[in-house]
Homo-oligomer: A and B are copies of this chain.
């Protein structure tokens, strides 16, 4: 575990973020930029290094924590982010070790980093059994149980997007059927709404953001689309709560910006299905850290006490 401020990186298909996170989880500095879509593997790496240099003196940081889009080889930190085609089996952790020698370097899934951030400093603070989930282009998450991150056998624990909520439901990109992600990810919500007759305004793209705006203006199909996603999320959360005896679920990501239009149907479906007595006090709440959750969680991988978010030694 690192004993001073660490470099934290959040690497996704649309943005790159770098931050300096201290041992209490404060974000001392941060920078972000769009993920360059046209660059090759080395070009992207150079962009990342330059961004890191703007938030920290790399000779001074006590460690490097990274949340990166999956899939990846964990704990090796060789990454093949779905939305970053130029990185395939890119040795991110090794490259960072060359860049910042003699300090711990730890790379994990970006949804896991989000969940870790929300547990350490966000909506799950003070609880020991927390699910953090992101509802965005995909649906992902991370699990803290007994105060420690759950990794599973290959670092893939937390894939709530592939909990089955409707066995006869829509096909999922994973090859399965009726996964939460197949129903609740932003593009699936938009597609369902368009099939039901919703159209974005002229000059607008058909995005979750525009759908949400229309729902907030009372558009019935847009509202129903969010309700359908919320119901699916609530069902999945009931299953997860029964399985893991959670205290808090923190929901973030673009679609969570819909607020009550999403959270009310989540709550209704969750309470309908989460009936075991021990599930009654579970709180399903909006994530608290906004886009800082991922970066703070990335830092937490190396700087949180007792290595509670890193089991790989």
A119 interfacial contact with B, CB 8 Å: no
**Chain B residue at smallest Cβ distance from A176:** B275
A151–B245 Cα distance when bound, in Å, is: 8
A215 an interface residue at 8 Å Cβ cutoff? no
Most chain B C-beta atoms within 10 Å of own C-beta, residue among A172, A240, A276: A276
Besides A157-B243, A164-B238, 11 other A-B contacts (C-beta < 8 A): A143-B243, A146-B152, A153-B246, A154-B245, A154-B278, A159-B242, A163-B242, A174-B275, A176-B272, A239-B239, A243-B243
Q: A175-B275, A278-B154 are in contact. Are A165 and B162 (CB under 8 A)?
A: no
- In the complex with contacts A172-B275, A273-B176, A152-B145 CB distance below 8 A: yes
Which A246-288 residues sit within 8 Å CB-CB of chain B?
246-247, 269, 272-278
Q: Is A207 an interface residue (CB 8 A)?
A: no
Q: How far is the CA of A155 from the CA of B146 in the complex (A)?
A: 10
Chain A contact residues, CB within 8 Å of chain B? 71, 127-129, 143, 145-146, 150-167, 172, 174-179, 235-236, 238-240, 242-247, 269, 272-278, 311
A145 nearest CB across to chain B (Å): 5
- The reply to whether A167 and B166 contact each other, CB–CB distance below 8 Å, is yes
Complex: how many Å from CA A159 to CA B246? Answer: 12
Instruction: Give bound CA distance, A239 to B172, whole Å.
Output: 13
Q: How far is the CB of A61 from chain B (nearest CB, A)?
A: 28
